[in-house]
Structure 1
């Protein structure tokens, strides 16, 4: 399925600034969270995956676990949710470029 570019859109208060990459399950954007003046990464999971019952159970369980993790080598998860359009993960934005 073609992934739509949502750059310039706002989702739940997050302003999607720049499309970064796409993968088999969705896309990642650099975004702004104006309420606290910080950059974040927004991962959007396509609805074809996000609306499967098995995915929903895993997504909820894994997101809750990751949100509680605190370690300097683990990217923090700030927020997550699901709706009819897909599933969303809001994470710390890491500056500095690709790891490749």
Structure 2
């Protein structure tokens, strides 16, 4: 009975409901473009809304050996996009507000502190 209750709680988790591919590998990525513009892997399940502005970051690799514990990667702000249309729980169409976002860049909603 305890095991059944635990399984029920896990299956209700929004993260698991989105699927492992979306949750851990794609969420927040620019996945491509179509005739209407740029498609991002962020949608209703992530709480995004039409009209929101998202920041776009690119992961920059610093080649060569790592020096101590410092990371060999950092995120560079590339620009901003605005959500035009939400397709479903996982995908949305955005238009470029500024910068030059590219496939595999990361999009995220800036949260107020």
Rg larger for: 2
When normalised by structure 2's length, the TM-score is: 0.31
Higher relative CO (CA 8 A, sep ≥ 6), structure 1 or 2?
2
